[in-house]
Structure 1
Amino acid sequence: MTDQTIVPFWQRLREISLYPAQPGALITLIVLSLARLLGLLPGVGRIVTLLVLVALYKFAFEVLRATANGHMEPPENALDMEESVGRQGVMMQGAFIVLAFLSFLVGGVLFGEDGIWFGIAASLLLLLGWPGACMSLAIDQNFWHALNPGTWMQIMSRLGWPYFLAFGLMALIFLSSANAQSLVQGVLPLLIGLPVLYFISGYALIATFHLMGYLVWQYQDELGYTPSNTASLPAIDRNADPDQFILDEAAQMIRDGETDMATDTLRAHLRERGGTEALHTQYRKLLRLKGDPAELIRHGKEWLPMLLAQDREKAAVELCREMVELDPTFVVSDAESNTRLAKRAAALGQTQLALRLINGFHKRHPKSADIPEMYLLAARLLSERMGKDAEAKALLTQIRTAYPEHPLLPQIDALLKLIESVSSTTKPAAT
């Protein structure tokens, strides 16, 4: 992967500006903006305001991380990032403000009246380093490493002029946000104006964090970053790839700004001749950039059985997870594939996806011999990973009743006994 196969961010200004208007981000911004009204409550108002700010920064860093991994849709269901990252984001903003204030004090002590210029220069340097610090915190999740000026300088030097171009675009977004807020402020009543002001500032914040994430995605080689959505795939020998000629042709179209033409070319090739994994992967990247969920779903339904036929179960699970995010009604059509994906998802720690694949399995595949095994797996996940012993016990009881002679009965009874013993030890003693 090189930045030559990815549309440069300066050719995606419209998509960047409209990113927070997508449903996943828009709903989050509306909820947080309305929650900001709770900050008016006496006594707890400041705490609520801080919690809302932490939640906004947590979502912003999730946006940065998701974009850096090649996902051009806002994160909706998967909140993988720890809550501490949101707090660290707020702390880092506070640290930058404190450092800027201290630079003016130190400048005054060292240079007297001319110290103001020292403070201004230091503040500008801090402002310029802010995007680098945010990118570092989102990727490494290391607060002190992100706060280190050497980290910012290293990111600036590796990216070169695109970093400063992106910084200028971020400044323009925030200036536009401030201008919009000044137009609204004082015009609307407090109960309406406060959420509107918060929504405007949040919109600008999400747009800039998406831009920072895209900067990482575009220059992943320069930054030494491996996106998590491709980290699990084996390295592809590009010289040996049978479809390299079409990949190179599409890459040239992208460099020329003909992204739609590149997408159409790959689509036509896949429909006429099929393609290697590299071609399928590149096609889906272009669809994400274009924002075409319908085609992503159609292509995913075609590619999923191909991955399973090639025993690429891990890649198939990742594709299935993406399909569920794109279409909550998506189901796997055949029982064998459903069973393989659910088992592999559970083994990979993707509990929610595994349970999603098992849910309703007996209705979709009533003749499948895997029904007891699937629901035994669901009971294990509910009990061991989610602490829902009551639901697991009810599920095991149903399996036992429906399949009294099944070979898995000893495992079902053992899990039931374990759940009952754990439940009995956690109940409070009777008085």
Structure 2
Amino acid sequence: MSARPRAAVAPAEPFWQRIPSIALYPGRGAALMTLIALSLAGLLRVIPFIGGIVGILVWLAAYKYAFEILRRTADGYMDPPEVEVSIDDGVVWRFIALQLILIAVLLICVGLGGPKLGLLALVVVAFLQPGMTMMLAMTGSLSSALNPAQSLSLVARVGFPYFAVFGLLLVIQASALMAGAWIARVMPLLGPVVLMFALFWAMFSAFHLMGYLLYQSHEALGFEPEALRDDAHPLPGAPGGDALLAQVEPLVRDGKTDEALALLRSEVRTRSVTTDVHEVYRRLLKQAGDPAAVLEHARQFLHQLMQERQDRRALGLLRESLDADPAFVPLDSTHAERLAEQARLGGQSQLALDAYQALLRTYPADPNAPQWGLHAAMLLVDRFGRDADAKVLLEQARARATDPAMQQKLEAALKAVGPVAG
């Protein structure tokens, strides 16, 4: 995760006391600029041939920015995020995949059971969709977001505020549609722009609201907002902060990125630096377009996060790194094993599976490899229904296992998986 601008940390007051500011959120700063730009870009849809592609890109950009709003708000920052043109964020793509999967589910229900089943599915999806979106923002795992049990667990832990937010989301979206349609009739020439403006305004307000519910309920959900972590540490350049960033900031501001990188690289490699320095160094490496250096630094940064017991932050870094390279493993295999176990127990099944598989590829002869194989196989069976792949892992683990107790566990797991068709 790239370093974010510092902002005042908002108190977690009940969301219903912030309804006016939530409704007006899209009219502030970068959100308003994004709103206007996307609405005007929507006019390009009328251009022959490329209009359809432009329309898709506009909605992708809108969903990306809306999801960034949700994540930034959930982290405790009440100001809109800065505009980012790229759409290469793995979590954002998983969010878009989530929307497409839910649409596919609705179409399948209509096809199989007609309008009645389709209406029932629509009600269920509409109720669970905010929970799924918030689960994805917390865990970064598409499988966790798609698991109804995870979303229902979130609803149970949040309680009444979830139902209130669900109702308010419906009101926001319905109001935007009605307002846009009315203005389109009154001003037909500006109708398409006004309608897009109203839809995107509603989208940004809704995602800000969902993010605020996460922030308000973070203790019940076991989620630590970034702003609260930042609040526990001195700011860069402030008394007690890291003076190194005070040297780097003017270089970056003047466009001397190479000099800033060289300075940071020297410091990061030769002495212990703060996590703030690591974050800035990581961001500059990404901007420089050097994926190999980003991954190399990620191992060092993750090692420091684990030593400082910032496991939640390390999980996010591990997810980013595995998205970039499925073979990525931390410097210390025990750190990788600990993070994989935390992800497995915390419901981040995809992250746990990816971490175990990376460990198995890198350290196939490790004494703990049979245990990793067992955990990965059970995730494949229980979470993803991939029995054939699970059986391969179990057989490999059995061939490596020397401990009788582990051999018995693997034999039992193989029997439970049973013969695999095909």
TM range (shorter): 0.5 to 0.7
Aligned partner of 1:199 in structure 2 is: 197
Structure 1: how far apart are the matches of 2:237 and 2:261? 23
Displacement of 1:73:
0.4
Displacement of 1:356:
3.3
Deviations 1:199-233 (A, max 9, x none): 10000000000000000000001111111233366
Structure 2: how far apart are the matches of 1:357 and 1:74? 21
Structure 2: how far apart are the matches of 1:185 and 1:167? 27
In the alignment, is the contact (CA less than 8 A) between 1:342 and 1:357 conserved in 2?
A: no
Structure 2: how far apart are the matches of 1:384 and 1:118? 50
Moved more, 81-90 or 94-103: 81-90
- Alignment pair present for 1:305 and 2:242: no
Deviations 1:241-299 (A, max 9, x none): xxxxxxxxxxxxxxxxxxxxxxxxxxxxxxxxxxxx7xxx9xxxxxxxxxxxxxxxxxx
Aligned partner of 1:158 in structure 2 is: 157
- Pair 1:40–1:84, CA change in 2 (3 A): farther
In the alignment, is the contact (CA less than 8 A) between 1:39 and 1:45 conserved in 2?
A: yes
Structure 1: how far apart are the matches of 2:289 and 2:134? 37
Structure 2: how far apart are the matches of 1:388 and 1:91? 26
Q: What letter matches 2:252 in structure 1? A: R
Matches within 5 A, 1:108-119: 108=114, 116-119=115-118
In the alignment, is the contact (CA less than 8 A) between 2:180 and 2:195 conserved in 1?
A: yes
In the alignment, is the contact (CA less than 8 A) between 1:67 and 1:213 conserved in 2?
A: yes
Which residue of the other structure, out of 192, 208, 211, is the alignment partner of 1:210?
208
Aligned partner of 1:185 in structure 2 is: 184
Structure 2: how far apart are the matches of 1:60 and 1:207? 9
Deviations 1:352-395 (A, max 9, x none): x57436779xxxxxxxxxxxx97963899899765499xxxxxx
Aligned partner of 2:263 in structure 1 is: 377
- Pair 1:231–1:153, CA change in 2 (3 A): same
Deviations 1:70-111 (A, max 9, x none): 100000156898444444434322322222232233335xxx
Matches within 5 A, 1:237-256: none
RMSD: 3.6
Displacement of 1:342:
4.0
Q: Percent identity?
A: 35
Aligned partner of 2:123 in structure 1 is: 124
Q: What letter matches 1:44 in structure 2? A: I
Q: What letter matches 2:245 in structure 1? A: L
Displacement of 1:49:
0.6
In the alignment, is the contact (CA less than 8 A) between 1:70 and 1:227 conserved in 2?
A: yes
Q: What letter matches 1:341 in structure 2? A: L
Aligned partner of 2:106 in structure 1 is: 100
- Pick the structure with greater CA Rg: 1
- Pair 1:66–1:354, CA change in 2 (3 A): farther
Q: What letter matches 2:61 in structure 1? A: A
Matches within 5 A, 1:161-180: 161-180=160-179
In the alignment, is the contact (CA less than 8 A) between 2:134 and 2:211 conserved in 1?
A: yes
In the alignment, is the contact (CA less than 8 A) between 1:342 and 1:358 conserved in 2?
A: no
- Pair 1:209–1:150, CA change in 2 (3 A): same
Q: What residue ranges of structure 2 are gaps of 5+ in the alignment?
A: 1-9, 267-280, 291-422
Aligned partner of 1:341 in structure 2 is: 245
Structure 2: how far apart are the matches of 1:201 and 1:134? 18
In the alignment, is the contact (CA less than 8 A) between 1:64 and 1:213 conserved in 2?
A: yes
In the alignment, is the contact (CA less than 8 A) between 2:184 and 2:194 conserved in 1?
A: no
Matched position secondary structure for 1:12: helix
TM-score, structure 2 normalization: 0.55
Q: What letter matches 1:196 in structure 2? A: V
In the alignment, is the contact (CA less than 8 A) between 1:62 and 1:138 conserved in 2?
A: no
Matched position secondary structure for 2:82: coil
- Pair 1:378–1:153, CA change in 2 (3 A): closer
TM-score, structure 1 normalization: 0.54
Q: What letter matches 1:11 in structure 2? A: Q
Aligned partner of 1:8 in structure 2 is: 14
Structure 1: how far apart are the matches of 2:86 and 2:153? 27
Aligned partner of 2:220 in structure 1 is: 222
- Pair 1:151–1:186, CA change in 2 (3 A): same
Displacement of 1:148:
2.1
Aligned partner of 1:412 in structure 2 is: none
In the alignment of these two chains, the number of paired residues is 266
- Alignment pair present for 1:75 and 2:8: no
In the alignment, is the contact (CA less than 8 A) between 2:42 and 2:196 conserved in 1?
A: yes
Q: What letter matches 2:142 in structure 1? A: F
Aligned partner of 1:48 in structure 2 is: 54
Displacement of 1:133:
1.3
Structure 1: how far apart are the matches of 2:289 and 2:100? 40
